Structure 1
């Protein structure tokens, strides 16, 4: 389990696409922000704020809107700035009180009041439609309104309205007001997200927040130097580089805006809008950091009200402008807010540092550095116990600073309270600073400010110092999820992968070239990474259902790793090994190695075993050099009698072996049966060949296999001491032409095994295999510990430094399972064995001399079986997601992004992957390659239970695959019940998706296309099992329900015809008695049907000439075989 866990973690990390951004993370100083309980509770100051400044207005008799009263220059109307402070305070309180036991009533109050203020903000925005600001050009205005439902509802209001809230009095936007209002709306959305279904307004507010985030940039940023990497914030509806206020720069707010967009990309109305804006947010954050650095006085930490920024902005600017009735070179009504904005950045993002190595020491800036200078000077100016002002105004000023003087207003609530928030950053003596902060907090608590500006900042500062902004740090910083953003993507770049698709026909034409196949593998990986990058980028859709998005993506990521084996096969499949024959080698008979042929059996029908023995007795190999052992683990008398009878008729090389099993002692099934023969029954051959009892070998089997144990050294042939095993492919003669379940496994035996061979680690498949006896003895025979003992044996041999190889020649044929039930049992046994090896003898950690490529190849079969679990979860969850969205209005968002990006990514990747599959399965009938795509789907339902059984140590019992076609229709149906259920569910899902696709909103189109694709793909995968279980219930030729004698006879005739057709090219007209032949290696193997009987009349003649002399084997005459 640990191996699997770390593997998954490694895979997820390896596929994440990390891109360079404008700012990077550096280690924090480790300082913890200071807070003070003396400031009072946030609910108290918020109620005071609402009670003193709230002014309800009713529209349509249904909506109450709270707007904040104005004073000073705003006394004759309402301003957006006041409304924004209320939203900021309310949103913060909502996020603070969420899920707090015993605070339900306070939470409800905060939500209601904040929502009312949002409705007021919305009212101001709607009124803004009545009068456009002509200072903006058509193109500029169009870009702004495009992010706000195409201008139907402007996301930000003009800055001043009449008291009756019926029309705007002054045009233009207040940058600081829009920042604070938007931050408050986002906090309202975040604070209520976990219970959003209880709030009918939630989706509207979330949409408004997202649109406002997208519209903020074109309205409030100066793009004149964007190509150089700088985006300067504008001061309201004017300014930029030429006139700027440091107090408007809010890096913490920009980070929230950026991450909020990442968390809710499905709300985007434009393709790649989130990607494009994210890059701009990073640029604006860096520019704001640089602007704060360039405007701050190093001696006293102060910044001016207004100044003209230098280029680049981290350099010192000039005082050439002023606005809003305040002098530019003074630290006054505008500048004081800078301290809170930077303090908030430190509280929420203490580890963030902007680093630009192109500018040396000036390219580095953090909120902590800014506060370090400011707090040191503030503490020097602190006057404890002063009745009027807690701070002195005699800051040091010199010609190097932009600030030349300070307004003597430090006694006012907005000044001293906001400056006090900077003291949350500890400098020097922390305990002394804590006392100073407590003293300031008590002063703030007793302050009776009533004007909206003073009361607003007093309340904001109180909620900062009492720790409420710190308390919601996790709520804010968890935005953005696990997404690591790629670089900015311009629309046309989305289609770059599709430009590779014209290469596919060219690659197909030259598919036989190894280099071309490897290029295709690389391109397939590239398109896969492109798709995964797109999915990573659009990982988080709806933050409230983040678990849905993340779980869906993780399952998708794990499942696509299953193509790794296909790509390895494409890379290492270099062609077949050269065919050889013993008779063509310059060896005399005595140099031929001795061979023992083992035929293990347990409970198989006698006629099947007889066919195998007859074929083994016909092997073209010198007499006396081969022995045949029937290893009967069932200890049946009829088999013993059959062997004795054959021996009496002349089959002296045939032996019967049956071990004695002691009750209570593990006998290790097939592996124990073979080892008993190897070590206890006088089996002494130099090489050992194993045939399953249903596998009929061709006469030339040993002639074709044994030469590969030799190697040529200086023109001489000698035994290759490092080669320990030669595997041959399996073929079956009872499979229907359609082969819906891919029982022939042509792709595996023709190409996959060649890749294994090229890496020197061909696995043992259990039958049609030859071993070097000395190598088996070195590892104590066939290995125990897995029900697929063959696979574990070849793994162990490879780990000992031996080589294994594979010969692609059709040398054996046998019976495939003739019912779906037996097919499932057979494949489940194979899969279970791979799982046992994975968990108990994991190839990645297996001791011995395995090379890395050997470990990977032996690791993949078990891992592929484990993938059935996430694949099954994937199958089920997609249907649950869609059904939940449709039936229960769950609004589970799987992903975000634009529809053509996901479509492009899917089409490109699958175009290359399908081409890879076709190339991997080249030289095979075209209908075979889809079978390999389908297998993983229908196997998942059968293999997933095995994963958990093996994982929890439950023993998997050995089951011999039945070779008789019996009535198992009901059992077949039982095995496909899950497939039927999921398919029916998917029919519903696809119908719903197709119906909703026509009217789907743009933000859901990509998700629906992705779900529709996977739904259709999985339905297609489940089809073979359902088809075999319902339409064609028995995949074999001869299987019928309730076979009678006539059908059994027909079955036997089919087998006979198959054998006859295979040996017809070697058949000769001979008498039905043994006689020497003059032709080297000639074999007569005559099959004739005798009166419709269900037996085979077999005549065999074996002749091998040595030094020109004929040698006759001791084999029974055909009429004697018929009598057996």
Structure 2
């Protein structure tokens, strides 16, 4: 059968962003200046600019700015420097990868796990074939396993036809984490490669990554996820030419001279993960804080099992101590402890991969906070696999809600910041992740603040006068300059806009966690879901509509009714509101996006040679 992504098979993955010491030094200088200016702005906001006639409005906005500034500090620490782990040659034998030299001459054995539940069997077949094509320069024992939680006879048949081992179980306890645990009980490879049903490994993945495991404390290596099916879009001049003729092409070229390259219809869901892997996660290497993201990661079996056993023992001790401390008599306490320990061992499950909707980052936390060993991790910057991106807004939102809800659930229920053996740098990196998802709170304030002003005329600060401009404009300019260099080589505006427009998804996730509800595990669909998705972006549409109406109302007050004293405040809040509108529009557009049919693809992409990565 044919798949929509077959037309993208020739695409090649992008190269990692090259490291430049000069660019890094400029970034560090500029961001320090920006942080100093930002600290002065926050000081001024609290000490000199509060609107005491409307503290109900002024204080929440000042709080939002303060929390956002804390987030800026954390993000700066995250992006501070790039320190890639030196890539070492692939080991010949397992003895080069650990402490145990009893089998030092034995070839390395690797288990490739392909997890699946309800995905199309023929899609998994392609992933199996790519996994079996993985090469290695030395003798190695590679076994491909299909982990089917759907218990499908046809999936078993496909696995057998492709030479893969088929593993299933009688229940779906623990979802993906339980599926991985079940497979670990039936396999014995020294290393485990985690794949989703659509993860298509490149042949170089093992020869490029196993060298990191020459460090006996290296627990896992995460490689970047690359969505090779992201729509490239149509260049603006060609798009306008098809509709307006030659004048349209001239107009498109004029726009591109001012704004740079513009492609219509490219990546409507901002799926390109290059900012996350090539900047955010890669720059956590210096702190030994690159966490696991599941698919396309390679794990040392010994590390996963050792950390799981220690976590198991800690859980047992904690539960026994909780009940034993209630008994004052020493002998009775000792007897109760023994009885409780036996019962707790029987009742507690050993989970190499934590049973959680975000089992990847949760397992990372367990390993990084292991009290018995300083396990290490690394983000390998080169793409070693390709996979499919969400093809509709519903699928995209299911995925984002799962990420947000799972991370916030860990934050509130098993926060690593207050336990374990993590270093300060590691704790700050995990705090940055948690803080980013809490940003929906202050982002909502930033979205509604200009609306409140436009309809009421009440400003969130004492006055939009010269002191305001002297404090805020240098900070904004220096901050933008700093992050231009800090994310050099990456298109970052879409990420900033989507972070603001995520507020409704993250709010829902936060509310779900605070209510004590369990974040459910939804398998991300691999096929486009049909339907009207405008209902999913009602909050974003409301922000756009209210801001637009507010702008018209405030303009009427100033220019028709003659309230010229409000002109300066109107200009500031109009710029603020327009920025919010522009940030909401991509998600609204994504709700309306339809993939081009084959005829349109042939017409619009004819002659286009640039890969998706560009």
> Scaled by the length of structure 2, what TM-score is found?
0.76
- Does residue 812 of structure 1 match 2:385? yes
Alpha-carbon deviation of 1:542? 4.4
Output the CA distance in 2 between the equivalents of 1:667 and 1:684: 22
Find 1:854's aligned residue among 421, 426, 432.
426
Output the CA distance in 2 between the equivalents of 1:815 and 1:766: 15
Alpha-carbon deviation of 1:540? 3.0
> 1:785 touches 1:836 (CA, 8 Å); kept in 2?
no
Pair 596,563 (structure 1): closer, same or farther in 2 beyond 3 Å: same
Corresponding residue of 1:582: 90
Corresponding residue of 1:883: 455
- Does residue 522 of structure 1 match 2:32? yes
> 2:225 touches 2:383 (CA, 8 Å); kept in 1?
yes
Pair 655,852 (structure 1): closer, same or farther in 2 beyond 3 Å: same
- Does residue 635 of structure 1 match 2:157? no
> 2:288 touches 2:378 (CA, 8 Å); kept in 1?
yes
- The 3-state SS of whatever aligns with 1:594 is strand
- Does residue 677 of structure 1 match 2:250? no
Pair 619,1008 (structure 1): closer, same or farther in 2 beyond 3 Å: same
Corresponding residue of 1:821: 394
- The 3-state SS of whatever aligns with 1:967 is coil
Pair 1010,613 (structure 1): closer, same or farther in 2 beyond 3 Å: same
Deviations 1:656-688 (A, max 9, x none): 000111xxxx71110000011002x2x101111
Pair 530,1001 (structure 1): closer, same or farther in 2 beyond 3 Å: farther
> 2:498 touches 2:587 (CA, 8 Å); kept in 1?
no
Find 1:1024's aligned residue among 552, 566, 586.
586
Corresponding residue of 2:544: 983
- Does residue 798 of structure 1 match 2:380? no
Alpha-carbon deviation of 1:704? 0.5
Deviations 1:1013-1057 (A, max 9, x none): 321221121121012223xx14xx67x6xxxxx89xx99xx9xxx
> 1:896 touches 1:1007 (CA, 8 Å); kept in 2?
no
- The 3-state SS of whatever aligns with 2:494 is helix
Corresponding residue of 2:230: 735
Alpha-carbon deviation of 1:809? 0.7
Find 1:1012's aligned residue among 544, 567, 574.
574
> 2:87 touches 2:211 (CA, 8 Å); kept in 1?
no
Pair 656,761 (structure 1): closer, same or farther in 2 beyond 3 Å: same
Output the CA distance in 1 between the equivalents of 2:92 and 2:213: 14
Alpha-carbon deviation of 1:591? 5.3
Output the CA distance in 2 between the equivalents of 1:1006 and 1:573: 43
- The 3-state SS of whatever aligns with 1:755 is helix
> 1:869 touches 1:947 (CA, 8 Å); kept in 2?
no
Corresponding residue of 2:293: 765
> 2:190 touches 2:300 (CA, 8 Å); kept in 1?
yes
Deviations 1:156-196 (A, max 9, x none): xxxxxxxxxxxxxxxxxxxxxxxxxxxxxxxxxxxxxxxxx
Deviations 1:204-241 (A, max 9, x none): xxxxxxxxxxxxxxxxxxxxxxxxxxxxxxxxxxxxxx
- Does residue 600 of structure 1 match 2:106? no
Corresponding residue of 1:613: 128
Output the CA distance in 1 between the equivalents of 2:50 and 2:74: 30
Corresponding residue of 2:194: 690
> Scaled by the length of structure 1, what TM-score is found?
0.42
Deviations 1:265-324 (A, max 9, x none): xxxxxxxxxxxxxxxxxxxxxxxxxxxxxxxxxxxxxxxxxxxxxxxxxxxxxxxxxxxx
- The 3-state SS of whatever aligns with 2:381 is coil
> 2:190 touches 2:301 (CA, 8 Å); kept in 1?
yes
Of structures 1 and 2, the one with the larger relative CO (CA 8 A, separation 6+) is 2
Alpha-carbon deviation of 1:590? 4.6
Corresponding residue of 1:775: 303
Output the CA distance in 2 between the equivalents of 1:1020 and 1:591: 59
> 2:455 touches 2:554 (CA, 8 Å); kept in 1?
no
Corresponding residue of 1:551: 60
Alpha-carbon deviation of 1:636? 0.8
Corresponding residue of 2:471: 905
Output the CA distance in 2 between the equivalents of 1:832 and 1:632: 25
Larger radius of gyration: 1
Output the CA distance in 1 between the equivalents of 2:379 and 2:417: 23
Output the CA distance in 1 between the equivalents of 2:366 and 2:49: 42
Find 2:404's aligned residue among 831, 844, 856.
831
Corresponding residue of 2:257: none
Output the CA distance in 2 between the equivalents of 1:686 and 1:590: 14
- Does residue 708 of structure 1 match 2:274? no
Corresponding residue of 2:245: none
CA RMSD of superposed structures (Å)? 2.9
> 1:511 touches 1:517 (CA, 8 Å); kept in 2?
no
Alpha-carbon deviation of 1:583? 7.6
Pair 538,825 (structure 1): closer, same or farther in 2 beyond 3 Å: same
Corresponding residue of 1:21: none
Output the CA distance in 1 between the equivalents of 2:485 and 2:106: 42
Deviations 1:980-1018 (A, max 9, x none): 12101111223344555666565x566444433321221
Output the CA distance in 1 between the equivalents of 2:221 and 2:112: 14
- Does residue 934 of structure 1 match 2:497? yes
> 1:629 touches 1:656 (CA, 8 Å); kept in 2?
yes
Alpha-carbon deviation of 1:837? 0.9
- The 3-state SS of whatever aligns with 2:416 is coil
- The 3-state SS of whatever aligns with 1:779 is helix
- Does residue 745 of structure 1 match 2:307? no
- The 3-state SS of whatever aligns with 2:295 is coil
Alpha-carbon deviation of 1:876? 2.7
- The 3-state SS of whatever aligns with 1:809 is coil
Output the CA distance in 1 between the equivalents of 2:268 and 2:483: 17
> 1:521 touches 1:570 (CA, 8 Å); kept in 2?
no
Alpha-carbon deviation of 1:694? 0.4
- Does residue 756 of structure 1 match 2:284? yes
Pair 1012,899 (structure 1): closer, same or farther in 2 beyond 3 Å: farther
Output the CA distance in 2 between the equivalents of 1:862 and 1:586: 37
> 2:94 touches 2:106 (CA, 8 Å); kept in 1?
no
Aligned length: 499
Deviations 1:12-49 (A, max 9, x none): xxxxxxxxxxxxxxxxxxxxxxxxxxxxxxxxxxxxxx
Output the CA distance in 2 between the equivalents of 1:977 and 1:893: 27
Pair 994,533 (structure 1): closer, same or farther in 2 beyond 3 Å: farther
> 1:725 touches 1:769 (CA, 8 Å); kept in 2?
yes
> 2:417 touches 2:427 (CA, 8 Å); kept in 1?
yes
